[in-house]
Structure 1
């Protein structure tokens, strides 16, 4: 099939995670398998490794299996949300893993299939569910949430400074079924002077709706401690985030794990209070200018990686 998916920061991720995956029987978990771009590259670089690929999108899992081709015999693909990681591993009888990747961006499949409703530049049904088998759609949120709740999610998840105006306009313009109606409503609610600053005027609202529909921050908060707990000593966790809300969560948890938990001033830190993690990336790494030019979807990516250096 045509190669429509360009994995963000693929070479850097493969190089670092391979340090934990070079031995026979190593287990690599891709918690956001998508179209298997990263997973395929990791398996090719580590012929002794096995993949556990998790995704909530059944369409993506089907495409991923096809893209893996002959590598699929080293892969177990699971339909789940990544915060279900402990249950997935328990069901497979896996007690610890060697490397985990969470790529928190939308897959090309979700962006490019207009009927999924993620894109604001084309008219499409307002769905936005990563798992189309369950849960409310973006249209459900728009048509049922009270104005104060709409304003809250636009402020918090979209960091939209005109959240109150947009929320009131949405309530007045109900019902919504397609994205064109929503884009028109958002544009009309934003002051004319601000409509073309900071990107498309609907970008932040669409981000907020997607996060709400898929409970993305809730899932991320749940999976990070579970992912770290599942790593063997020497195992690594890599997270690719695409907006500041995600990145702050990752940064805070990684920093906490890389600090000792002893009271300040104690002369000798007891073993059980020493750091569990080591920061592999010092701060967030960004794609190169060359990568962004060839793959504009990588522009906002931030990569953070930690290594487990001690059991809890």
Structure 2
């Protein structure tokens, strides 16, 4: 597949974020023959191809909800032959995916959250606020709800909730008033009209104080709502932890505070002892089953950000299972 009108294969120019750091952190868990690496957000397989190259005994279960991404990834990963199993699914369907490929325990897993480069760069998908496109924003085109459906169909209070909760937009109520007035005149269908509505709703002083594009937070909020991104993340984390074998590692790349907060809390809770505070000795069965590999979130180096500006907001957290659930193989 090539990008329409360019003749360029997106996978050939795709630059995965913090790829060297991800590969290095996952490598200790992938040394044995047949070790299972799950990429829950396969995209164009930039991380997956590097991990498979670095760990020749590992096998990949690659998951993505986007059919275009899976097609590109399949071509890029064809050289690995039978080491690769690709599944079209949302990553919070992890239990079903693993059952389908006959895998019980995993040795490493990556979640590279947010919008993929392929989705961001495809004008017809409607994710970008800098170009005019249909207001779609579905990562999986089988989904029934589009961004236009949200804008035109949600009650005002629900729209305010979406913009505040998922876009952290302080001007949510002001923007929603403008959206409601516009949609009563004519339903929203394209991104350019939405951008004009958002920009017009915000006084110049507010736009200057916010910094960045005035539509950025609204588009983020709509995308998260359409795709159920935070619900999917909250749903997959406990399943991922439960499926990890002893010495397995999980890595998550987040790009905004909403995602990172969910990951940080889940990892911190998993790495805590279950004993009440003040016990002089923690019994084995109450000791933490996981340990934090990264203290805080690792960030990309300045050199990487200069090469790939999309890496600027990335935060990488890595966790390792250090004890089984029941004293044996977990």
Determine the structure 2 residue equivalent to 1:306.
319
RMSD of Structure 2 on Structure 1 (CA):
0.9
Q: Deviations over 1:177-213 (max 9, x none)?
A: 0000000000011111122432000000000000000
Determine the structure 2 residue equivalent to 1:282.
295
Determine the structure 2 residue equivalent to 1:143.
152
Shift of 1:72: 4.0
Determine the structure 1 residue equivalent to 2:241.
228
Q: Deviations over 1:237-276 (max 9, x none)?
A: 0000000011011000111111101011112212221101
Alignment of 1:1-312 (within 5 A): 1=9, 3-174=12-183, 175-196=187-208, 197-312=210-325
Q: Deviations over 1:159-182 (max 9, x none)?
A: 001000011111111110000000
Choose 194-203 or 179-188, whichever is displaced more: 194-203
Once residues 88 and 72 of structure 1 are traced to their aligned partners in structure 2, the CA distance between those partners, rounded to angstroms, is 19
Once residues 104 and 283 of structure 1 are traced to their aligned partners in structure 2, the CA distance between those partners, rounded to angstroms, is 17
Name structure 1 gaps, 5 residues minimum: none
Q: Deviations over 1:28-68 (max 9, x none)?
A: 00000000000000001111100000000011000100111
The answer to whether the 8 Å contact 1:183/1:202 transfers is yes
The answer to whether the 8 Å contact 1:65/1:72 transfers is no
TM-score of the superposition, structure 1-length normalised? 0.98
Once residues 134 and 263 of structure 1 are traced to their aligned partners in structure 2, the CA distance between those partners, rounded to angstroms, is 45
Once residues 284 and 40 of structure 2 are traced to their aligned partners in structure 1, the CA distance between those partners, rounded to angstroms, is 31
The answer to whether the 8 Å contact 1:238/1:306 transfers is yes
> SS at the partner of 2:212?
coil
Once residues 111 and 18 of structure 1 are traced to their aligned partners in structure 2, the CA distance between those partners, rounded to angstroms, is 29
Q: Which aligned segments of 4 or more residues in structure 1 are displaced greater than 6 angstroms?
A: none
Q: Deviations over 1:109-166 (max 9, x none)?
A: 1011100000000000000000001220000000000110000110110000100001
Once residues 141 and 207 of structure 2 are traced to their aligned partners in structure 1, the CA distance between those partners, rounded to angstroms, is 32
Determine the structure 1 residue equivalent to 2:4.
none
The answer to whether the 8 Å contact 1:102/1:239 transfers is yes
Once residues 31 and 15 of structure 2 are traced to their aligned partners in structure 1, the CA distance between those partners, rounded to angstroms, is 24
> SS at the partner of 2:60?
strand
Once residues 277 and 171 of structure 1 are traced to their aligned partners in structure 2, the CA distance between those partners, rounded to angstroms, is 48
Shift of 1:73: 2.8
